[in-house]
Chain A
Amino acid sequence: MESFDVIVVGAGIVGLATAYHAQKSGARVLVLDKGATGYEASSRATGYLSLRGETPEECALAQVAEKLWDELDEELGYPTEWTQKGRLWAAIDDGELAELKATFQSFQATDIGFEFIDAKACRDLIPALTDKTLGGIYTPRAGHANPQRTTQAFAWAFLDRGGEIREHTPVLSVLEKGGAVHGVRTTRGDIHAGTVVLCAASHTTKLLEPLGIVFPLAPVRLEAFVTAPLPPLFEEAFIAHGLAVRQTRRGNIHVNGGPFEWIDVDVTGEPAKPTTPLVRNIAQRLVEVFPVLRKAQMLRSWAGIVDITPDTMTLIHSFDTPRGLVAASASGHGFGMAPAMGVAIADLALQGRTELPIGDLTLDRFASLPGDWRRAWNWQAGNINT
C-alpha cells in the first residue's frame, strides 16, 4: 500500500495551506480531492481578510493571518494580488446607519482599531460612493486578494516542495483501527498515512459520521457576479447595503450578498451550483451604492457552496480518539484565515499542538449542540435566507 506521512482531504485553500506548511516542515504530504483544485468554496470566496471584529473569538487568529498575508507572495513565490488598503463598512439609509452604530459598539470590544467616520470621510475614501452615504466603520487594516490565484499559489508552492495533489479522487472513508487512523480509502484504493487531515467541507462531516463524531456544518449556496474591467475606483474591502464589493487588481467589480439557499451535498460528485435571477436585485443594489456603475456591464455570475458552522466561526479540532485525526472548517472565513489556519493545522498534524490562538475554535464549544441543530436553526436544505 502507498504510504505518506500526512494525507490532507480537500484541495481548497485551507487544505492546501495546511499541506504546504506540513510539507515545508519536512513531512511527505498527499492532497486528495473529489474534484479539481480550488473549485468549491475557494472559488466562491469574496477574497477578503476581515479581522473578525464580528466574532471576537476568531480575532486573534485573524491577526496572525494578517501578518502572514503581508509576506505571502514572497513566501509562496506566486502573486496573490494582496491589497491591504483597509475596510469600509458603510450605511446608505437610516436603518442601515442604526444597525451599523450597534455593530460599532460590539467592535469596540476588540483591539483592532475601528473608527466610525462620517459621510464626507467615507466619500473622501471612495469618491464613487452615492451621495446618500451616511457614515461608516473604517479600519486601515484588513485587505483583499484574488481567491483563485491565492489557492493556486498554495497549490504550486506545495508542488514546488515535492508535495503531491491527486484530483478527481474521492475519499470514501477514513481508515481507523485500535483508536488510531492509518489512512484513507479512495475510489482508487487505500492509501496509508499515520495522520489524516480533513479540510473537505461537508464531506468532512460525512467522513466523520462512521467514527461517531458530529462535525456540524451546513452547506449553503451563495451568488456573486463581476463586471467587465473598469478604471481604478477604490482599493478598500467594502461592505454596504447588504453587499460585499471589491475591485480586483484587473479592474473588475466583484460583488456578492443577499438571499442564500441551504442545501445538502453528495460526497462523490461536484455539487450543482445554479445561479438565479437574484443577480438582477444585486445589480440594483450595486447601482444604488455606486451610481457611477450604471453603464458598467455585468460580465458573469456564478454561485458557490460554502459550509457554515452553527455559530459561523472557524472550527479546528485535533482528536485524541482516534489519534492522528485533525479536521477543520473555516465556515466561510477560510480565505482570509487560511494562511494562519494552515500553520495551526499543520502544527496539530505534526506535533499534536500549536502555539497559535485556536483555543476558542475547537469542537468542544458544540458539546451540547442539539442533534437536530440544522432544523432548529432553520438551516435544512431548501430553506432560503433563514
Chain B
Amino acid sequence: MTSSSVRRIAVVGASDLGCSFALAARQAGHDVTLVDEHPQSLKQMSLDAPYFYGAAIPAAVLNENAIAQVVLESNPEIFECFEAEVDVRVGTIAWGAFRNAPNSAHIGTPKLGLVSQDSNKLLEHDVLVLATGARDFVPSFAGWDLPGVFGVKAGLALLDIYQCYEGKRTLVLGTSPEAVKFTRSALAAGVEIVGMVEPTQHFAAGRLAADEIAGLGVPVLYGRIITAAEGKTAVNGAQLVPTNGSGTVEGLDCDTICIAIGRLPNIELPAAMGCQLRFDASVGSWLPETDAGGMTSAAGVYWLSRFTGGEEQVQAILASIGGDTVAPAAPAESVARADYLQLWVDTLFQTGGSNVMLCQCEDVTRGAFLGLEPPRYLDGQLRHPQTPVTGRCGVPRIHQDQMKRMTRVGMGHCQGKRCRDEAALLLSTRFGIGLESIQPGSYRFPVRPLDLDLIAAGDETPEMRENWLYWPAAPENL
C-alpha cells in the first residue's frame, strides 16, 4: 500500500464485526482507531442505553477498575486489535459525528466527538465505520420499572461480560434466539429459569431451539402473556394470563424478569448525521440506506451490522474504501422480527390496557400518549384531546416528533431508547398506519446524555470569542 492510500479510519463499536473490520483494515495498512462505550460508567448504565439494565444494577459494577478488566478479558478480539496496533479506546462514547454537509460548510476534515471520563476530543478521520450494534427492545407492562426487570442484552452483559448477575429465579419473556442464548448462559451460571413466556403456540426461534430448551428442562409457557411484574421494592413474582381470553391469572414466583423479545439496531449516529434511512420490515426498524460496499448516503461513512449481513461486509467495505467497485452481495437472510415485536406490543396492550406506564422518564401512560394528553406537569389543562394524525388530503401521517413534543414520550433522560419503538408500534395499530408511514422522531447529538463538565470544551478560537453573539446583529453602519 502506498502512503497516499493509507486512510485514517474510525470504527465505532467493538462488537465481533467491529473488531474484525478494525483488524482487517489495520492489516491492510490503514491507520485505525476503534472506539467502544463499554465498560460504561454506572451513570451511563443507569440510562438504559444501549442495554436496558432497569433499576437494579449489581453493586459489583461500582468497582470500575475491576470491571474494566473483566470486560476487556471477555472480548479477546479487542486484545487482537491492541496487538495489531489498532488505537483502541474503550469506555469512550462516540457522541456525535460531523462533516461538511449542506448548511454546515465549515467542519473541514470529518470529526468524531469522543468523550470518556478523562478525555474530550474531536477525532479527525477520513473514513467512519459505524458498527454500533444492537439495543434492547423493551415493551411496557405493569411493574416494568421495578428493580429486577431488564432486557436480554443487559442480562447477557451481566452474565457473560460483567460476570455479576444477581438473579436466582428468572422469568424469560419471549422465545427469540436472544431468549435462547440468555437461557443457556443463565443455566450455565447456575440460575434457575422458571419459564419462557410465549403468547403464541410457536417457539419463535424455531423447532431446533425449542427442542434444545425442552432438553434443558425449561418450561415454555405457550399462549400466555405477562400482565404485571409484582413486588413493592423489587420483583418477587409475575402475573401471567392466557392470550385466548379465558382470563385466569396465574402467579409465578421469580426475582428477575428478562425481556427477550428482540433487539433493535443502534442507528442514532447515522440518523443524527442525516444519513438517509429506510424502513426494514424484517428488522422492524429504520436502517441506513447503503450501497453494495456498505456506504451510507454520506460519502466515506459506512454501516456494518449483523442486521444487514455477516462477515462478508468487512471485505466489501475495505474494497469500497480502496476505491474498488463492489458487486452486490446476496441479501441477508430475512429474520422477520417486526411481526414478533408487533405481536407482543399488541397483546400486552390488549391484556394490560391504557393505564400502563409507557414512558418511564416522563411517567406517561399508553393511554395518555395515544390520546395526545398534555404531560402531568401541566395538570391536564388541555381543552380536549386532538388527533395526532395529519394530512387530510392524501395519505394520513403521523409525525413522532410532534407526538413527543406534546406528550413528552421520548423526550426524557433515556432519549427515547426505552419507549420510542413501542410508541411507534402502538400508533401503528391504534391508527391503522403502517410503521413505514410514521415518521420516526429525530435522533440528536449527543447520542448518549453527557455530563456538561465532560463535554464542555474551552477551545474557542480568538475569532469565536471576539465575535460570539447570542443572536445575529445588523451591521452598525446601517
| Chain B min CB distance to A252 (Å) | 9
Q: A77: nearest residue on chain B (CB-CB)? A: B383
**Distance in angstroms between the alpha carbons of A77 and B463 in the assembled complex:** 47
Determine which of A152, A242, A283 lies in contact with B402 in the assembled complex, contact meaning CB atoms within 8 Å.
A152
Task: Please give, as numbers and ranges, the residues of chain B lying within 8 Å of A280 by CB-CB distance.
Answer: 113, 120, 455-457, 459
State whether A259 touches B394 (Cβ < 8 A). Answer: no
Hey, which chain A residues are within 8 Å of B111, CB to CB?
A: 277
Could you tell me if B469 and A283 are in contact, using CB atoms closer than 8 angstroms?
Answer: no
Q: Taking the complex as formed, is A169 at the interface, i.e. its CB lies under 8 A from any CB of chain B?
A: yes
Contact with B along A291-318 (1 / 0, CB 8 A): 0011111111111010010111000000
Q: How far is the CA of A159 from the CA of B388 in the complex (A)?
A: 13
A371 smallest CB distance to B (angstroms): 16
CB distance from B118 to the nearest CB of A (A): 15
Q: Are A149 and B405 in contact (CB under 8 A)?
A: yes
B474 touches A271 (CB 8 A): no
Contact partners of B446 in chain A: CB under 8 A: 279, 298, 300-301
Q: Does B478 contact A (CB under 8 A)?
A: yes
When distances are taken between beta carbons in the complex, the residues of chain A under 8 Å from B467 are: 259, 385
Q: Is the CB of B452 within 8 A of A296?
A: yes
**How far, in Å, is A131 (CB) from chain B's closest CB?**
18
> Is B323 at the interface (CB under 8 A from chain A)?
no
Closest Cβ neighbor of B378 among chain A residues: A79
Residue of A nearest to B468 (CB): A242
Give the most central of A188, A229, A243: most B CB within 10 Å.
Answer: A229
In the complex, whether A275 has a CB less than 8 A from a CB of chain B is yes
Contact B392 A166 (CB under 8 A): yes
CB–CB A281/B378 < 8 A = no
Convert B442-478 into 0s and 1s, putting 1 for each residue whose CB lies closer than 8 angstroms to a CB of A: 1011100111110111111001100111111111001
Output the least CB separation between A235 and chain B (Å): 14
- Tell whether A86 is near chain B: CB-to-CB under 8 Å: no
* Cβ contact within 8 Å between B381 and A79: yes
Cβ of B301 to closest chain A Cβ, rounded Å: 13
- Interface residues on chain A, size class: 35 or more
Answer whether A167 and B470 are a contact pair too, CB < 8 Å, given A73-B381, A274-B101, A274-B274: no
A382 to B473, alpha carbons, bound, how many Å?
Answer: 17
Contacts of A250 in B (CB 8 A): 375, 377, 408
B96 adjacent to chain A (CB < 8 Å): yes
Inter-chain contact A243/B451, CB cutoff 8 Å? no
Contact B113 A277 (CB under 8 A): yes
How many whole Å from B77's CB to the nearest CB in chain A?
A: 30
> Quick check: which of B102-110, B173-181, B220-228 contacts chain A, the rest being far away?
B102-110
Tell whether, in the assembled complex, residue A167 and residue B413 are in contact, meaning their CB atoms are under 8 Å apart.
no
Task: Please give the distance in Å from A171's CB to the nearest CB on chain B.
Answer: 14
The answer, yes or no, to whether A332 is at the interface (CB within 8 Å) is yes
CB distance from B382 to the nearest CB of A (A): 6
Q: Which residues of B contact A242 (CB under 8 A)?
A: 468-470
B391 contacts A261, CB within 8 Å? no
Interface residues of B in 395-436 (CB under 8 A from A): 397, 399, 401-402, 405-406, 408, 412-413, 415
Q: Is A347 an interface residue (CB 8 A)?
A: no
Question: Least Cβ distance of B386 to chain A in Å?
Answer: 5
Contact assessment for A260 and B472 in the assembled complex, using a CB-CB cutoff below 8 Å: yes
Number of interface residues of B (CB under 8 A): 65
In the complex, how many residue pairs between chain A and chain B have their CB atoms under 8 Å apart? 198
Interface centre among A79, A220, A263 (most CB of B within 10 A): A79
A274–B455 alpha-carbon span in the complex (Å): 18
Assuming A284-B457, A294-B451, A297-B450, is B445 touching A244 (CB within 8 A)? no
**Interface pair B444/A312, CB less than 8 Å apart:** no
Q: Please, which residue of chain A has its CB at the minimum distance from the CB of B416?
A: A300
- Bound-state CA distance A81–B406 (Å) is 12
A168 CB-CB contact with B under 8 Å: yes
Residue in contact with A275 in the complex, picked from B374, B406, B444, CB distance below 8 Å: B444
Q: Residue on B with the closest CB to A50?
A: B471
In the assembly, what is the distance between CA of A239 and CA of B468, in Å? 13
Contact of B104 with A221 in the complex, beta carbons under 8 Å: yes
**Residues of chain B with a CB closer than 8 A to A276's CB:** 98, 104, 106-107
Q: How far is the CA of A254 from the CA of B340 in the complex (A)?
A: 39
Q: Are A281 and B391 in contact (CB under 8 A)?
A: no
Instruction: Give min CB distance, B109 to chain A, whole Å.
Output: 12
Q: Does B208 contact A (CB under 8 A)?
A: no
Q: Is B393 an interface residue (CB 8 A)?
A: yes
Q: Does B122 contact A (CB under 8 A)?
A: yes
> Considering the chains assembled together, what is the distance between the CA atoms of A160 and B387 in angstroms?
12
Complex partner residue of A385 from B442, B469, B474, CB under 8 angstroms: B469
Contact B478 A310 (CB under 8 A): yes
Interface check A344, CB cutoff 8 A: no
Q: Which 7 A-B pairs have the closest CB atoms?
A: A280-B457, A77-B383, A300-B444, A257-B470, A297-B449, A283-B456, A284-B456
A-B contacts, 6 listed (Cβ < 8 Å): A164-B392, A168-B397, A228-B413, A250-B375, A280-B457, A305-B103
Known contacts A152-B406, A229-B412; can you find 15 more A-B pairs with CB under 8 A? A149-B405, A166-B391, A188-B393, A272-B101, A272-B274, A279-B445, A294-B451, A297-B451, A298-B450, A299-B413, A301-B446, A302-B442, A312-B474, A332-B472, A385-B467
A residues adjacent to B (C-beta < 8 A): 36-39, 73, 77-79, 81, 148-149, 152, 156, 159-160, 164-169, 188, 220-221, 227-229, 239, 242-244, 249-250, 256-261, 263, 271-277, 279-281, 283-284, 286-287, 293-303, 305, 308, 310-312, 332, 377, 381-382, 384-385
